[in-house]
Amino acid sequence: MGDITKLIARRLGFGLLTLLVISIIIFFMVELLPGDIAEAVLGQGATPETVAALREQMGLNDPALVRYFSWLGGAVVGDFGNSIVTGARVTEVIGERFINTLFLAAYAAVIAVPFAVVLGIIVALLRNTLFDRVANVLTLTSISSPEFFLGYILILYLSVKTSMFPAIASLSSDMSFPELLHRTFLPALTLVLVVTAHMMRMTRAAIINLLASPYIEMARLKGTPPWRVIVRHALPNAWAPIINVIALNLAYLITGVVLVEVVFVYPGIGQALVDAVSKRDFPVVQACCLIFAATFILLNLAADVGAILTNPRLRHPK
């Protein structure tokens, strides 16, 4: 148990170090933007007095290193400052939107994860059959198609032509849960089509790779049914790479939804990031990027821990 704790602590340390490096990149990439940030926010018609007041409000007169540590210290306690456009706290601007993004990611994950794992097991059982070939063609098509293209295709056939689902995922506080699921089905389905392909192919590859192992051949020689060979012998040893790809795709569901949210006008953190970029609301941009990075690192850490717990060989690295 001590070895596992040390491995987890080491992974957590690397994750925090990575997040620190990313925070430096996020902050100073904004600093490297050409021109004066205050002038860019106010526009060319701003007076020197207005520009000077905004620079003072944003703390731009302080050295960059001082402003970075001030921003980092606030970010650690959840204070990302104020929005330049609205003047509201950044946490208020993106808080509810982040919850909406988490809901959409959970909605897609509940559908995609079990479906992808089961489909991967089935195509591994039916390897080199017509079903396997058709599944591979469909998943490769899904992987190769951009998210916005899949979204527009779904809007065309499931919204415009059939009116089964709304094209715009507008939300309101008084809607019921079934109505919420109905309105957000198309963006969730778009995400499902993208991530299912990755998880299914990884599940299939992991299981097929193990089917050539000696203990699998011994189980087959004993007359064990093919489905039992996969479920009882191959799948437990394939969980480590499967958990890794599931965690990476869950991270994508949260951090890669920008295009999907824009296509369906979904009020999530991805849409908030796009709006902030267009309005040059840099505190919101920095907060969104840091949240995306922290989420991705956290889910990668969860994948590492899951792989360690499911594979005893990883607990005692040579």
Q: Which residues of the chain have pLDDT under 50?
A: none
**Domain membership of residue 167 as a residue range:** 102-269
Alpha-carbon torsion angle 12, 13, 15, 18, nearest 10 = 180
Residue 133 domain flag: yes
Residues near 212 by beta carbon (within 8 Å), at least 6 away in sequence: none
Sort 10 into a burial class: Cβ within 10 Å, 0-12 / 13-18 / 19+: exposed
Residue 164 domain flag: yes
Residues near 317 by beta carbon (within 8 Å), at least 6 away in sequence: none
In tens, the pLDDT along 197-249 reads 888 888 888 777 777 778 777 877 787 777 777 777 777 777 777 777 888 88
Helix (H/G/I), strand (E/B), else coil: 171: coil
Strand partners, 82: 89
Residues 286 and 101: their CA atoms lie apart, in Å, by: 17
Residue 84 domain flag: no
Residues 187 and 32: their CA atoms lie apart, in Å, by: 35
Residue 59 domain flag: no
CATH code (residue 242): 1.10.3720.10
Residues 281 and 276: their CA atoms lie apart, in Å, by: 5
Residues 117 and 238: their CA atoms lie apart, in Å, by: 11
Residues 233 and 203: their CA atoms lie apart, in Å, by: 14
Alpha-helical (H) ranges within the chain are 2-31, 37-42, 48-58, 64-76, 90-125, 130-144, 147-155, 177-183, 185-210, 214-221, 226-228, 235-255, 258-263, 269-278, 282-310
Residue 1 domain flag: no
Number of independent structural domains in the chain: 1
Phi-psi region of 81 (alpha: psi -120 to 50; beta: other; left: phi over 0): left
Helix (H/G/I), strand (E/B), else coil: 173: coil
Strand partners, 155: none
pLDDT at res. 169: 83
Residue 286 domain flag: no
In tens, the pLDDT along 139-150 reads 888 888 888 888
pLDDT at res. 110: 92
User: Of 245, 235, 239, 237, which is closest to residue 299 (Cα–Cα)?
Assistant: 245
User: Of 31, 104, 115, 67, which is closest to residue 253 (Cα–Cα)?
Assistant: 104
**Cβ–Cβ under 8 Å, residues 196 and 142:** yes
pLDDT at res. 246: 82
Helix (H/G/I), strand (E/B), else coil: 82: strand
Residue 19 domain flag: no
pLDDT at res. 36: 64
Residue 281 domain flag: no
Tokens standing for residue 73: 């210290």
Question: What is the pTM for the complete model shown?
Answer: 0.81
**Cβ–Cβ under 8 Å, residues 105 and 254:** yes
Cα–chain center distance at 192:
12
pLDDT at res. 185: 92
pLDDT at res. 219: 77
Other Cβ atoms closer than 10 A to 312: 8
Tokens standing for residue 98: 């982040």
